[in-house]
């Protein structure tokens, strides 16, 4: 059974609407619009600001770094040294330049002699990739000690060193120039000086000025400035090396981008020091309220504060009511029934209103009907409540409250099933049939019949659903006490997008149960 | 950045800029940000005011900035005084995907084969700017370098901002590890960069990330700085266009014509490489019915082939017949990654130099494009034209400091080859500025091409919107000749002189040049601050940016 990528459920973060003021109120959200990609998130990627009463996506939070650490050795790096060390681990942690796996320090000799005093293996050592067998020793990089590899590597003369010294020269050149005068911003004086020069030169005649002009202004000592001429011999050498090497011997683009000296050949790749990571706290952009605050200790995975949206916003789940159809092969013009389950994470019961356009947006619109668009969902009370209730009541008692259709297909206006803090309703989807144009294009792009296209595939049924939740909470006073019977009315309203499957070709023998 | 050359006011060279206002009116409205020659007095006062402006707002002036190079294909970000950027990010398809939908969607096909299939150019295709993807292989020849104005005003500008925001968030949180609100941003801007796009970038940086300010520098200045010199001719071979620009004393020089732009650049090279591979019989396979089908090559596979296998003959076609290279020709196998059903490409190594040949050294008619497309000058000719248009003193300073930047410029052999051909052109033509233009002006169509018997010498601009501007420029050139009166004598002298002064020097590239200048505390003139930008309703006031 192929792993199905359906159903997928996203929430549109309202921060996008807030930014685009031209956006009309009450307009149906179009999941196919190009911009929708950037505002749709799975529920578990969202945070929630309880001051603003609004979900917060990664775009509407500000981040602050709590600590820096190496993901490989879990060593915390003090803030002061992070930048000078290039945001990379300064110890023994390196990445393979070819496959980016973590390298380990091993002795070059497979059966190394051991030091008599310490009992530790003796060098030389190499950085070895346990995944692709890349070894620094094969490229002439061996280490005397198994520790402080970074320092040892730094002292070695590598392909990088020439560049660095050339860069140092150029840097000195500009720093000195910069000190003499602030050339770029202090143009007036510069300009008048040049004009003075020109007026004298002008009287001498153009041809003479040409020879002296370039030099008189700046004495460019090429050697000292690190100026290097491109010469033909060097370029021919590279071409010959390419000619004699295999394509596999040249570094891939991805490998080159990771290396400061942009090597053309794999032989010239250097191990990459592990990139440091950070723990970050997150604040709401609007009210500066802290939404996430991790424990400052590197080894701790605890959060001091974490306001995840999943604890505030109802979660939608989708499943097939009858497992007779395939998500990847929805049958055109047939009724597909899904079970939409709304789960309430709040400690108060909520009343839910679902709204969806009759026809989904896009070139091939499907007809969508939610059989029961208005219903209540129970509070997220103690898990045991349900079990105790169930034990108390007779097994058949609960089903009486639920009005399932006679034939198990659901009836309009009533819910399908409900539990402690969830309610399920039936959603009917009738996809259209795709025209020849679609299929010929699909094939021309090299896709197999049931395969989803990259990007926005017209055949995928995406249903925008506007979920409006109203609930009442007990008003909490400033001192923390509950303010008696006074209740506060709250409301959440978000656009969800349900990707329910992909329209297929009509089967000759329909398998959907009658 | 003052580009101004005092000789414009001297009697030697009457200012060719008399019609700058007219010329301006012929430019696309969204490309306002460049190349307006101004009089010296104007720029003088302008300098003073902006200088003052800077000091009044030097709250962040002392703090170290970051340097951000936002290219069409990659983003580089890092700190000043460092050799290389902290990160080089490409616009991966992931940036166009929904969160939680990341990664190639791979699942078992009915036939059990695992395959990665992509639409060509889908999901951004590795470039940030979508409207430019009109320059694809088939239809590319007639779209030319489009101006920044889209035909259909859709969401694309906003999508660009969204994507850029994701890329920059990656840069800030994974590589720079800083709070974006704490650092000023230094942004190199290529010549003739659309203002609309610059505004998008500024908006993302200031409004979305809350950077204190953005300072713009001409990227050609950074390229020159990256080479360790202060003047030079910058040949920036980018993705959609190649820009040739002179820089004198760290100021970009706008010659008597619009900035030299040509669409002979990276994306055309990739298209030519695709054509080369598609031509091969070996790269066609039979499907189950025995029908011959051409396999598709993904853009990123082509990118790899171009970056790893592409090379350029250091000598032109006439010189190959020496026979020295013939026996060296050997087969070269290019395995196509991640594509099990595809066969590896078997190609002669010598043929891998052909795409560069057709991209930079041959007239474009030899490609598949329709014949009525006006030709772009070849790269050496383009450089020569730009040199010609430069003030003579600047030209002298540039000749021995030709600097190539841009990803495509690193194709081995390309720089040497360009210099060889440029050498030939100079030897043939000297610096005769006027004659050629006058002849050309009356020519039409194919007659415009000079009758030199060599391919790749045809010259003129491809883009229709530049035509009128060009004509105006040409007429100006004539004026210059009349009054200057020295050009012919000059040319004769140049002709007898060996053009041995030509020299290409290596540059660390635009980003590193920026790092050098920023570490020398060079201050920029064009700075936009967060509060001011917000006050202006996120609009850039470019009225006084005459020379960016």
How would you write A334-351 as a 3-class SS string?
Answer: CCEEEEEEEECCCCCCEE
Residue A297, chain B, CB below 8 Å: the answer is no
Mean pLDDT for B293-318 is 77
Q: Are A316 and A330 in contact (CB under 8 A)?
A: no
pLDDT digits (tens, 9 = 90+) for A422-432: 999 999 999 99
Which residue from B401, B429, B461, B91 is spatially nearest to B235, judged by alpha carbons? B401
Cα angle A451, A452, A458; round to 5: 130
Average pLDDT over residues A167-190: 59
* Bridge partner residues of A370 (DSSP): A427
pLDDT tens per residue, range B249-300: 888 886 545 557 787 888 889 888 888 887 775 555 555 555 555 556 777 7
Domain residue limits, chain A? 8-45+313-502
Min mean pLDDT across A387-391, A395-399, B538-542 is at A395-399
Are residues A163 and B83, on separate chains, in Cβ contact within 8 Å? yes
Q: Best interface-test mutation with B: which of A60, A163, A243, A443 has the largest number of B CBs within 10 A? A: A243
- B378, B362 contact by CB (below 8 A): yes
Average pLDDT, chain A: 79
**DSSP per-residue codes, B81-122:** T-SS-SEEEE--GGGGSPTT--S------TTS-------TT-
Confidence (pLDDT) at A412: 75
Residue written as tokens 């029961």?
A: A372
Chain B residues lying within 8 Å of A171, measured CB to CB: 81, 516, 519-520
For residue A56, the model assigns a pLDDT of: 92
Q: Taking 90 as the threshold, does the pLDDT of residue A342 lie above it?
A: yes
Minimal Cα distance from B94: which residue of A?
Answer: A455
The answer to whether A218 contacts chain B (CB < 8 Å) is yes
The percent of residues in chain A predicted with pLDDT above 70, rounded, is: 77
- The answer to whether residue A396 neighbours chain B at the CB level (below 8 Å) is no
A182 touches chain B (CB under 8 A): yes
The complex scores an ipTM of: 0.84
Question: What band does B301 get if pLDDT is binned at 50, 70 and 90?
Answer: confident
Mean pLDDT within B404-427: 90
Do B508 and A170 make contact, defined as CB atoms within 8 angstroms? Answer: yes
Distance CA B257, CA B251 (A): 16
Nearest CA distance, A448 vs chain B (angstrom): 7
Exposure string over A301-340, b if 16+ CB within 10 A, otherwise e: eeeeeebbbbebbbbbebebbeeebbbbbbbbeeebbbbb
Residues in chain B with CB shorter than 8 Å from the CB of A450 are 110
Q: Would you state the pLDDT for residue B388? A: 85
A368, β-bridge pairs = A429
pLDDT for the residue A482: 58
User: How far does A66 lie from chain B, in Å, by closest CA?
Assistant: 11
A62, A243, A257 member nearest B90 (Cβ) = A257
Q: What is the mean pLDDT of residues B384-405?
A: 87
B4 pLDDT above the threshold of 80: no
pLDDT at site B261: 76
Residue A205 has pLDDT above 60, yes or no: no
The answer to whether B230 contacts A218, with C-beta atoms less than 8 Å apart, is yes
Q: Is the pLDDT of residue B309 over 70?
A: yes
Neighbouring CB atoms inside 10 A of A374's CB total 14
- Of B310, B316, B322, B276, the closest CA to residue B457 belongs to B316
Residue B165: list chain A partners with CB under 8 A. 38, 59
Q: Smallest CA–CA separation between B387 and chain A, in Å?
A: 14
Query: A126 or B132: which carries more pLDDT confidence?
Result: A126
Q: Would you call B296 and A446 a contact, using CB atoms and an 8 Å cutoff?
A: yes
Reading the block at residue B478, the tokens are 């004539």
Residue A185 confidence (pLDDT): 43
Say whether pLDDT at B407 is over 70.
yes
Contacts of A318 (CB under 8 A, 6+ apart): A7, A9, A338, A339, A340, A341, A427, A498, A500
Residue in chain B nearest A160 by alpha carbon = B83
Average pLDDT along chain B: 66
Give the model's pLDDT for residue A10: 92
Q: Do A218 and B79 touch (CB under 8 A)?
A: no
CATH C-level class of A8-45+313-502? mainly beta
Confidence of residue A302 (pLDDT cuts 50, 70, 90): very high
What's the pLDDT at A9? 92
Is A175 within 8 Å of chain B by CB? Answer: yes
Scan residues 451-480 of A and list those with Cβ closer than 8 Å to B.
Answer: 451-455
A228 and B CB contact within 8 Å: yes
User: How confident is the model at residue A159, as a pLDDT?
Assistant: 64
Cβ atoms B381, B340 nearer than 8 A: no
pLDDT higher at B131 or B66: B66
Q: Is B380 within 8 Å of B262 (Cβ atoms)?
A: no
Contacts of A173 in chain B (CB under 8 A): 228
Q: Does A18 touch chain B (CB under 8 A)?
A: no
Q: Which of B14, B57, B95, B393 has the most A C-beta neighbours within 10 Å, making it the best mutation to test the interface with A? A: B393
| First-to-last C-alpha distance (Å) of chain B | 6
Of A300-309, B318-327, B418-427, which gets the smallest average pLDDT? B318-327
Q: Going by C-beta distance under 8 Å and a sequence separation of 6 or more, which residues neighbour residue B480?
A: B13, B14, B16, B256, B433, B434, B487
The total number of residues shown for chain B amounts to: 548
pLDDT digits (tens, 9 = 90+) for A343-354: 999 988 999 999
Give the residue from A71, A454, A498 with the most B CB atoms within 10 Å of its CB, the best one to mutate.
A454
pLDDT interval class at A293 (50, 70, 90): very high
Q: In which band, very low, low, confident or very high, does the pLDDT at A114 lie, cut at 50, 70 and 90?
A: confident
Give the pLDDT confidence score for residue A233 in this predicted structure. Answer: 85
Interface of B with A in 264-303 (CB under 8 A): 296, 303
pLDDT band at A279 (very low <50, low <70, confident <90, very high): very high
A15 in contact with B, Cβ within 8 Å: no
pLDDT band at B440 (very low <50, low <70, confident <90, very high): very low
User: 73-132 in B: which are within 8 Å (CB) of A?
Assistant: 74, 79, 81-84, 86, 88, 90, 93, 96-101, 105, 107-111, 117-119, 122-123
Q: Domain B32-102+161-228+508-535 maps to which CATH number in 3.30.420.40, 3.40.220.10, 3.30.420.10, 3.40.190.10?
A: 3.30.420.40
Cβ pairs bridging A and B (under 8 Å): 276
Nearest to B253 by CA among B393, B379, B104, B357: B393
- For A225, the token pair is 């400035």
Stretch A30-53: mean pLDDT, rounded?
Answer: 87
3-state helix, strand, coil in chain A (%, to 5): 25, 30, 45
Greater confidence, B431 or B353? B353
Q: Hey, are the CB atoms on A174 and B109 less than 8 Å from each other?
A: no
A146 and A94 in contact (C-beta within 8 Å)? no
Is the pLDDT higher at A200 or at A105? Answer: A105
Query: What is the per-residue pLDDT for B110?
Result: 35
Q: B-chain residues within 8 Å CB-CB of A12?
A: none
Q: In chain A, positions 73-92, which contact chain B (CB-CB < 8 Å)?
A: 82-83, 86-87
* Pairwise CB contact (< 8 Å): B486 & A447: no
- Give yes or no for residue A255 having a pLDDT over 50: yes
Strands B504-505, B402-405: parallel, antiparallel or unpaired by DSSP? parallel
Share of chain B above pLDDT 70, in %: 54
Chain B residues lying within 8 Å of A222, measured CB to CB = 228
For position A146, what pLDDT does the model report?
A: 85
Contacts of A220 in chain B (CB under 8 A): 229-230
| Residue whose structure tokens are 């189950």 | B288
**Residue B150 forms contact with A (CB below 8 Å):** no
pLDDT in tens, A313-341: 999 999 988 888 888 888 888 899 999 99
CB proximity B387 to A under 8 Å: no
CB count within 10 Å of CB B332 equals: 19
Q: From the CA of B247, how many Å to the nearest CA of chain A?
A: 12
Distance from CA of A501 to the nearest CA of B (A): 14
Confidence of residue B212 (pLDDT cuts 50, 70, 90): very high
Checking if the pLDDT of B451 tops 80, the result is: no
The whole-angstrom distance between residue B235's C-alpha and the CA centroid of its chain comes to 8
How far is the alpha carbon of B446 from chain A, nearest alpha carbon, in Å?
35
Greatest Cα pair distance, chain A, in angstroms, is: 113
Who wins on pLDDT, B448 or A485? A485
pLDDT band at B481 (very low <50, low <70, confident <90, very high): very low
Look at B496 and A123; give whichever has higher pLDDT. A123
The verdict on A276 touching B (C-beta cutoff 8 Å) is: yes
- Inter-chain residue contact B227 with A195, CB threshold 8 Å: no
Residues B237-255, mean pLDDT to the nearest whole number: 84
pLDDT of residue A240: 87
Nearest to B519 among A175, A242, A247 (CB): A175
Q: Is B392 on the interface with A (CB under 8 A)?
A: yes
What count of other Cβ atoms lies within 10 Å of the Cβ of residue B98?
Answer: 19
**What confidence category does residue B63 fall into, taking pLDDT thresholds of 50, 70 and 90?**
confident
Q: How far is A409 from chain B (nearest CA, A)?
A: 31
Angle (nearest 5°) at CA B68 between A227 and A67: 115
* Residue A177 confidence class, pLDDT cut points 50, 70, 90: low
A248 close contact with B: CB closer than 8 A: yes
Residues 355-374 in A contacting B (C-alpha not used; CB under 8 Å):
none
pLDDT at position B296 = 63
Peptide bond just before B532 cis, omega within 30 deg? no
Rounded Cα gap, residues A167 and A225, in angstroms: 9
* Range of lowest pLDDT (A212-221, A356-365, B101-110): A212-221
Query: Which tops the pLDDT comparison, A389 or A162?
Result: A162
Q: Which of A35, A173, A454 sits opposite B155 (nearest CB)?
A: A35
The answer to whether A170 contacts B105, with C-beta atoms less than 8 Å apart, is no
Instruction: Using a CB–CB cutoff of 8 Å, tell me whether B465 touches chain A.
Output: no
């Amino acid at each position: 059974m192929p792993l199905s990528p359906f159903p997928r459920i996203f929430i549109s973060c309202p921060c996008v609407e807030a930014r685009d003021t031209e956006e009309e109120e009450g307009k149906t959200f179009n999941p196919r619009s190009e911009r929708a990609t950037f505002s749709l998130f799975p529920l578990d990627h969202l945070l929630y600001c309880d001051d603003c009463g609004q979900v917060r996506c990664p775009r509407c939070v500000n981040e602050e770094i709590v600590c820096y650490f190496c993901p490989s050795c879990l060593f915390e790096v003090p803030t002061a040294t992070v930048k000078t060390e290039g945001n990379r681990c300064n110890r023994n942690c390196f990445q393979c330049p070819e496959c980016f796996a973590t390298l380990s320090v091993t002795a070059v000799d497979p059966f190394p002699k051991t030091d008599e005093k310490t009992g530790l293996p003796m060098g030389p050592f190499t950085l070895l990739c346990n995944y692709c067998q890349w070894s620094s020793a094969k490229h002439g990089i061996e280490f005397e000690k198994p520790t402080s590899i970074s320092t040892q590597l730094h002292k070695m003369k590598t392909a990088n060193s020439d560049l660095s010294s050339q860069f140092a020269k150029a840097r000195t050149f500009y720093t000195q120039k910069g000190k003499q005068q602030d050339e770029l911003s202090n143009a007036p004086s510069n300009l008048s000086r040049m004009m003075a020069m020109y007026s004298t030169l002008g009287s001498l005649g153009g041809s003479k000025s040409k020879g002296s002009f370039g030099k008189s202004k700046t004495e460019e000592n090429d050697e000292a400035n690190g100026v290097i001429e491109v010469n033909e011999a060097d370029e021919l050498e590279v071409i010959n090396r390419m000619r004699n090497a295999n394509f596999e011997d040249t570094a891939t683009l991805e490998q080159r981008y990771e290396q400061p000296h942009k090597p053309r050949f794999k032989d010239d790749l250097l191990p990459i020091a592990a990139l440091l990571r950070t723990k970050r706290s997150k604040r709401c952009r609007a009210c500066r309220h802290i939404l996430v605050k991790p424990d400052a200790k590197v080894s701790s995975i605890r959060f001091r504060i974490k306001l995840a949206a999943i604890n505030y916003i109802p979660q939608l789940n989708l499943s097939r009511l009858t497992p007779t159809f395939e998500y990847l092969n929805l049958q055109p013009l047939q009724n597909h029934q899904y079970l939409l389950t709304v789960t309430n994470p709040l400690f108060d019961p909520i009343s839910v209103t679902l709204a969806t356009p009759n026809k989904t947006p896009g070139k091939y619109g499907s007809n969508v009907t939610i059989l029961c668009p208005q219903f209540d969902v129970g509070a997220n009370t103690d898990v045991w409540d349900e079990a105790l209730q169930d034990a108390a009541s007779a097994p058949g008692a609960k089903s009486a409250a639920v009005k399932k259709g006679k034939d198990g297909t659901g009836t309009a206006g009533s819910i399908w099933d409900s539990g402690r803090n969830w309610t399920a309703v039936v959603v009917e989807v009738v996809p259209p049939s795709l025209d020849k144009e679609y299929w010929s294009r699909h094939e021309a792009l090299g896709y197999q019949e049931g395969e989803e296209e990259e990007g926005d595939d017209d055949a995928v049924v995406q249903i925008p659903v506007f979920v409006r939740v109203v609930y009442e909470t007990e008003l909490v006073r400033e001192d923390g006490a509950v303010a008696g019977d006074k209740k506060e009315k709250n409301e959440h309203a978000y656009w969800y997008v349900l990707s329910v499957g992909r329209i297929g070709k009509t089967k000759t023998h329909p398998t959907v149960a009658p | 950045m003052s580009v101004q050359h005092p000789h414009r006011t001297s009697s030697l060279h009457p200012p060719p800029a008399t019609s700058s206002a007219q010329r301006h009116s012929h430019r696309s409205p969204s490309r306002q940000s460049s190349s307006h020659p101004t009089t010296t007095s104007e720029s003088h006062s302008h300098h003073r005011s902006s200088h003052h402006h800077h000091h009044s707002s030097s709250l962040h002036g002392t703090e170290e900035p970051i340097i951000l190079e936002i290219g069409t294909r990659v983003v580089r970000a890092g700190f000043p005084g460092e050799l290389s950027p902290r990160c080089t990010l490409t616009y991966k398809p992931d940036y166009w995907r929904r969160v939680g939908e990341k990664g190639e969607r791979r699942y078992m096909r009915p036939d059990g084969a695992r395959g990665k299939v992509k639409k060509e150019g889908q999901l951004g295709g590795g470039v940030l700017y979508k409207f430019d993807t009109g320059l694809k292989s088939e239809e590319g020849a007639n779209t030319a370098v489009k101006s920044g104005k889209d035909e259909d005003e859709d969401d694309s500008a906003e999508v660009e901002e969204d994507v850029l925001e994701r890329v920059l968030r990656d840069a800030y949180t994974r590589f720079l590890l800083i709070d974006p609100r704490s650092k000023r941003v230094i942004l190199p801007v290529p010549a003739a960069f659309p203002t609309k796009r610059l505004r998008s970038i500024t908006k993302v940086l200031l409004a979305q990330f809350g950077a204190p300010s953005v300072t713009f520098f001409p990227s050609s200045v950074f390229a020159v700085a990256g080479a360790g010199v202060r003047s030079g001719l910058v040949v920036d071979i980018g993705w959609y266009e190649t820009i040739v620009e002179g820089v004198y004393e760290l100021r970009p020089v706008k010659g008597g014509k619009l900035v030299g732009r040509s669409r002979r650049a990276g994306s055309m090279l990739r298209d030519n490489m695709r054509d080369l591979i598609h031509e091969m019989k070996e790269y066609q396979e039979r499907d189950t019915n025995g029908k011959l089908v051409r396999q598709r090559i993904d853009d990123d596979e082509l990118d790899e082939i171009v970056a790893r296998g592409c090379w350029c003959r250091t000598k032109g076609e006439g010189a190959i017949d020496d026979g020295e290279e013939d026996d060296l020709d050997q087969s070269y196998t290019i395995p196509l990654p991640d594509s099990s059903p595809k066969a590896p490409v078997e190609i002669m190594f010598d043929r891998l130099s052909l795409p560069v040949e057709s991209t930079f050294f041959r007239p474009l008619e030899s490609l598949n494009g329709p014949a009525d497309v006006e030709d772009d000058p070849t790269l050496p000719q383009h450089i020569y034209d730009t040199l010609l248009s430069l003030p003579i003193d600047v030209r002298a300073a540039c000749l021995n400091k030709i600097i190539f930047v841009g990803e495509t410029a690193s194709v081995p052999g390309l720089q040497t080859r360009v210099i060889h051909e440029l050498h030939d052109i100079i030897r043939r033509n000297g610096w005769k500025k006027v004659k050629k233009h006058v002849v050309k002006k009356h020519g039409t169509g194919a007659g415009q091409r000079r009758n030199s018997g060599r391919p790749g010498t045809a010259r003129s601009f491809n883009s229709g919107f530049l035509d009128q501007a060009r004509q105006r420029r040409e007429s100006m050139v004539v004026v210059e000749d009349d009054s200057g009166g020295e050009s012919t004598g000059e040319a004769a002298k140049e002709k007898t002189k060996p053009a041995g002064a030509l020299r290409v020097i290596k540059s660390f590239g635009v980003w590193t040049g920026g790092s050098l200048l920023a570490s020398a505390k060079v201050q920029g003139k064009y700075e936009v601050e967060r509060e001011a930008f917000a006050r202006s309703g996120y609009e850039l006031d470019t009225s006084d940016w005459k020379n960016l």
